[in-house]
Structure 1
Amino acid sequence: MSLPVPIDLHVRSYGRVRESDRHAYAQLVLPLDGAVALEIEGRERMLDPLQAAFIAPGATHSQYAEGLNRSFIVDVAPATLDPVVGDRLHERRFAPVGPEARKLVEFMRLLVERGAATPALVAGWAPLLLDTLALDAARPLSRLDALLARVEADPGAPWTAESMARCAGLSPSRLHALFREEHDTTPRAWLLQLRLARVCAWLGAAELPIAELALRAGFSDQSALTRAMRRSLGTTPAEFRRRRRT
């Protein structure tokens, strides 16, 4: 089966029944939530937000999942794929999703949730993501990667710098040092920006009350969210939602 467009992006969930497939285009599997077991030409790996998979054109593959899951599926026509990038990813099949790639995935997640992921944006985003994953495949994961993926999957949990340090198996001082080295920020500031980004996406796409969105994102109440948005974005949740809708 050929691909009718150069690059196509969609969100998919998998079930407990193993599904087998083979197609003439390349495919990138990027878990957003949960985990997916994926087998490519005899090599199997459990994918999560830290691990992506690249399926070369014509490669046989199958997948299944036990729990709730969602993944970005990026289909790429062979003529659109950079041969060097394709060869590098095909050699590894499974690539780590480092900080730079995660930022790109999070950016597209926000666009999809807002209904703003136009074909033109996807066509510009996908090659950059593939290039980034090809580079990430050649270097080891940071000690922060597992922690960041876990927090990104559940930003509303009662995270603190201390609980994040315990989760990463680091001391609080070492966690702060790594955040400064790799992201030029602090754990608390990074967490706040993550929560604000999620709220902004939900405000543009969901009809839920602002108070409920605040709690879901990890803020103590609507007032705490309003104060944070005023300081960081110069607006309030209600004003932000109104502008998005108009």
Structure 2
Amino acid sequence: MRLSVSGGQGADNKNKRARSALMELNSIVSLKSYAEGVSLHVHDFHQLVIPTHGTMEIEVDGTQGHLTNARGILIPAASHHRFNASSGSQYVVADIPIDFRLADGRQVGALRLLDERFFSVPLSFCHLIAFLRGAVQEQRAVDTGAWLRLALSAISGQAASVTDAKYTPLAKATTFMRANLDQPITCKHVAVAAGVSERKLNYLFNQSLRMTPHAYLLELRIERAIGLLSGSRLPISDIARACGFSDQSALTHALKRARDITPARLRRASA
């Protein structure tokens, strides 16, 4: 990644800050591109790989899969893996030390993700990618340890904070949404479940998640659909209804708009 600079002493200081930001960014987390063709790797650290655009065919210890911006992988240390990246693709790659600890003090090895390996990419991770890109473009230093803890928390579905947040209105709202994804719930239903007004509910979502309750609900439905498309053989029409979409066409439109992939293509890639 190249950072543009201009001349003069001010530019020298700016260049130093840019190099510092880039060095810190690359210490654990980086944005990478790979040449086309099959490559074989093995590392003494865990590795997180998620495409920001493009795709990757990958095999880890005999298990094959396909990565898209909707599907990533956490590769265990010492695992032999071969991959083939698509032309012009880019990936978020995190080289995670064996002794790296999560926000709750556990080591990465305690995550069930290391056994499951493949996972659906949550919306919150999209925000983290945007932050990472912004840090490079604006030449800001990044606390990659903190970034990685947030990323692993988002991917694994764990709470990013050790505080007891399960009784907050926002947590009540998101819990209600997850429990009723197959139902035609509205913002009013969610507000009642959270114990707040609709106006307050919108404020909480915008302040904490930078999105509306409706947008968050749609993303939850898309995430569930991705999981079912990747991990089951249910008919796509049944998956659409199970995730709260009116029909298969509605699911296709939503998934194409959010992840630039159709249900049929995602299912083929996950086979």
Deviation at 1:170, TM superposition (A): 1.8
2:150 is the counterpart of 1:128: yes
101, 104, 113: which one aligns with 1:89: 113
Given that residues 98 and 108 in structure 2 are in contact (C-alpha distance below 8 angstroms), is that contact kept between their aligned partners in structure 1? Answer: no
Deviation at 1:146, TM superposition (A): 10
2:43 is the counterpart of 1:23: yes
Secondary structure of the corresponding residue to residue 157 of structure 2: helix
2:89 is the counterpart of 1:65: no
Secondary structure of the corresponding residue to residue 77 of structure 2: coil
Give ranges in structure 1 of 5+ residues lacking alignment.
148-164, 176-186, 191-246
Identify the residue that residue 11 of structure 1 maps to in structure 2: 31
Deviation at 1:6, TM superposition (A): 11
Given that residues 99 and 108 in structure 2 are in contact (C-alpha distance below 8 angstroms), is that contact kept between their aligned partners in structure 1? Answer: no
Give ranges in structure 2 of 5+ residues lacking alignment.
1-24, 159-177, 182-218, 226-244, 259-271
Q: Which runs of 4+ in 1 moved over 6 A?
A: none
Written as runs of structure 1 = structure 2, the 5 A alignment for 1:215-226 is none
Secondary structure of the corresponding residue to residue 91 of structure 2: strand
Aligned equivalents of 1:117 and 1:9: distance in 2?
A: 12
Given that residues 7 and 74 in structure 1 are in contact (C-alpha distance below 8 angstroms), is that contact kept between their aligned partners in structure 2? Answer: no
Given that residues 85 and 130 in structure 1 are in contact (C-alpha distance below 8 angstroms), is that contact kept between their aligned partners in structure 2? Answer: no
Given that residues 57 and 65 in structure 2 are in contact (C-alpha distance below 8 angstroms), is that contact kept between their aligned partners in structure 1? Answer: yes
Aligned equivalents of 1:13 and 1:111: distance in 2?
A: 18
Written as runs of structure 1 = structure 2, the 5 A alignment for 1:46-125 is 46-81=66-101, 82-83=106-107, 86-118=110-142, 121-125=143-147
Query: Per the alignment, do residues 25 and 135 of structure 1 end up closer, same or farther by CA in structure 2, a change over 3 Å counting?
Result: same
Letter in 2 for 1:169: S
Deviation at 1:80, TM superposition (A): 0.9
13, 20, 39: which one aligns with 2:59: 39
Secondary structure of the corresponding residue to residue 135 of structure 2: helix
Identify the residue that residue 231 of structure 1 maps to in structure 2: none
The percent identity for this pair of structures is: 21
Letter in 1 for 2:55: A
Aligned equivalents of 1:32 and 1:6: distance in 2?
A: 17
Query: Per the alignment, do residues 30 and 60 of structure 1 end up closer, same or farther by CA in structure 2, a change over 3 Å counting?
Result: same
Q: What is the Cα-based RMSD across aligned positions, in Å?
A: 3.7
Given that residues 36 and 65 in structure 1 are in contact (C-alpha distance below 8 angstroms), is that contact kept between their aligned partners in structure 2? Answer: yes
Alignment deviations for residues 189-208 of structure 1 (CA, whole Å, 9 cap, x no partner): x9xxxxxxxxxxxxxxxxxx
Secondary structure of the corresponding residue to residue 68 of structure 1: coil
Aligned equivalents of 1:33 and 1:114: distance in 2?
A: 21
Aligned equivalents of 1:170 and 1:117: distance in 2?
A: 41
Larger Rg: 2
Letter in 1 for 2:119: A
Alignment deviations for residues 90-139 of structure 1 (CA, whole Å, 9 cap, x no partner): 11101111112222222222222323243xx2111101111211128xx9
Given that residues 14 and 36 in structure 1 are in contact (C-alpha distance below 8 angstroms), is that contact kept between their aligned partners in structure 2? Answer: no
Query: Per the alignment, do residues 95 and 74 of structure 1 end up closer, same or farther by CA in structure 2, a change over 3 Å counting?
Result: same
Query: Per the alignment, do residues 72 and 86 of structure 1 end up closer, same or farther by CA in structure 2, a change over 3 Å counting?
Result: farther
Identify the residue that residue 167 of structure 2 maps to in structure 1: none
What count of residue pairs does the alignment treat as equivalent? 150
Query: Per the alignment, do residues 36 and 25 of structure 1 end up closer, same or farther by CA in structure 2, a change over 3 Å counting?
Result: same
Letter in 1 for 2:35: G
Secondary structure of the corresponding residue to residue 30 of structure 1: strand
Query: Per the alignment, do residues 86 and 13 of structure 1 end up closer, same or farther by CA in structure 2, a change over 3 Å counting?
Result: farther
